[in-house]
Each structure stands twice: as C-alpha cells, then as structure tokens.
Amino acid sequence: MNIKLLVDGGAMKPGPALSQKLGPAGIPINKVIEKINEETSSFKGMQVPVEVEVDLKTKSFEVQVFSPPVSGLLKKEAGIQKGSGLQNKTKVGNLSIEEIISVAKRKMGSLLCKDLKSAVKTVVGSCVSLGILVESLDPVEVERLIEEGKYDQEIKEGKTETPEEKKNKMKEFFNELKDAQEKKLKIETQAKEEAEAASAASAASAAVPVAVAKTPEKAPAKTAAKAPAKAPPKK
C-alpha cells in the first residue's frame, strides 16, 4: 500500500490521512510519524511531499521523502513565509545567483531540464510570481542575462555560497527598497482613506433632505363696508 502525503517538515502530527489507512492495517502510526519527522527534519518550515510504502503482510513500512516545490525552497532561501501578493509593486526578497544555483541543483532531477543553466533559468522564472529579486534585479532581467551568458562562470562551477561582501550589499539594497515600498504604501493607504472619507461625507450630505421655503399665501383682500343709506327726510 502506498500513501502520498504533504507534511510540515519535521513537524508532522497525527491525522486522519494516516489513521484511516494505517489503523485498520495494524501499522503503528506513531512510529510512522516519528520516522517521517526524522527524515524531513532538514526541511523545517516547509511543505514536503512524502510517500509511505506499507507491506501489509509483514507490517513494515518505508518512508520516501521528495524535494519540496521550487517555490518552497526559494521562500526558505529568502527567509519568508509567503510570496508577494502584489509582485509588480512589492518585492519580498533578494536572492543571489549562488542561492538560485543551490535551489536549481536540488531540483535538477524533477525539473526535466537539459542542463544546470536551463534549470537555473527555470528557478529564476519562479521568482517572478513570488516577488523575489535576483542579484538586486528584476528576475525577468536576470533571465535575459542568463541567456546572454553573464552567469556562465558561476553556473559552470556550480557555486552555491554567496560571498559575504556581496551578501551585505544585497541586504543593504533590499532594506532601502523595503523602506521605500513601505513609505509608498503608507502614502497610498492614506490617500485611499481620505478619498473614502470624502466620498462618505458627500453621500451623507446628499442624503439630508433640503427644506423648501414656502411662499406665504396672501390673505384675500377685504371689501370696504358700505355706509348705510340715509332715510329721506320726513315732510
């Protein structure tokens, strides 16, 4: 019996995905979880694909761990929990070409790329949707530079360690960019709130009925009373 799972690296907990299948078969669930956590301990904070192969006759099992998705590896390298929801406006990380090569080498077998250079380009492409810069540049620009051969030396040597000086410069660049993004977002948020407040005030004003002044009705003109006619003098 083969059971496919997606678990939290080093932190899997008991759940129905295993208990419903292993319980009736008499397989010790706690031992399976312990083994999975042991095998995935190097992927803490990441979702890891795992397969558990169970022999129902001997009650034995084997755990096979697969490499996390490219996006998961990139997020771990960048030290972030999730990608940017506004990748065209907000960047959430800045990775070196060495860090990209490291991810590409780990995923080489599942990317179906002909060589490391094409794998590196594929990994850089994943940075676009996550909102992660590469070498302090837009990843689309880096894809073009890879095609032109700018990083051929690093790729050929399979470099995975970023020089400390370069790392510090990239960190400084990203911190400045992050500050600028936060200031811009604050200004946009304030402008939006002011616009919404003005719109609400306008709507409230329009909802108040305007009193229409009525022209007082004119009283009918009084007719002057006629004096009674005098009786003719008696003879």
- Cα–Cα distance, 49 to 64 (Å, whole number): 9
- Cα–Cα distance, 195 to 202 (Å, whole number): 11
CA of 6: how far to CAs of 1, 10, 59, 218, 221, in Å? 17, 12, 23, 88, 96
CB contact at 8 A, 23 and 56: no
Place of tokens 């090569």: 101
Q: How many CB atoms lie within 10 A of CB 126?
A: 19
**What per-residue confidence (pLDDT) applies to 66?**
83
User: Which residues on neighbouring strands pair with residue 54, listed in sequence order?
Assistant: 61
Phi-psi region of 62 (alpha: psi -120 to 50; beta: other; left: phi over 0): beta
CB contact at 8 A, 122 and 109: no
**What per-residue confidence (pLDDT) applies to 228?**
54
- pLDDT band for position 144 (cuts 50, 70, 90): very high
CB contact at 8 A, 36 and 46: no
Give tens-digit pLDDT for 172-217. 999 999 999 999 888 988 898 888 888 888 877 776 665 555 555 6
Give tens-digit pLDDT for 68-115. 889 889 998 999 888 888 877 889 999 999 999 999 998 887 787 889
Tell me which CATH code domain 70-183 carries.
1.10.10.250
Q: Where are the domains of the chain?
A: 2-65, 70-183
Tell me which CATH code domain 2-65 carries.
3.30.1550.10
Q: What is the DSSP string of 47-79?
A: EEEEEEEEETTTTEEEEEE-PPPHHHHHHHHHT
Q: Which residue has the higher pLDDT, 172 or 60?
A: 172
Tokens of 64: 């096979």
pTM of the model: 0.69
CA of 119: how far to CAs of 52, 105, 107, 199, in Å? 29, 8, 8, 51
- Cα–Cα distance, 154 to 208 (Å, whole number): 70
Place of tokens 């095998």: 39
Q: Please state whether beta strands 47-55 and 2-8 pair in parallel, antiparallel, or not at all (unpaired).
A: antiparallel
Sign of CA pseudo-dihedral 20, 24, 30, 36? negative
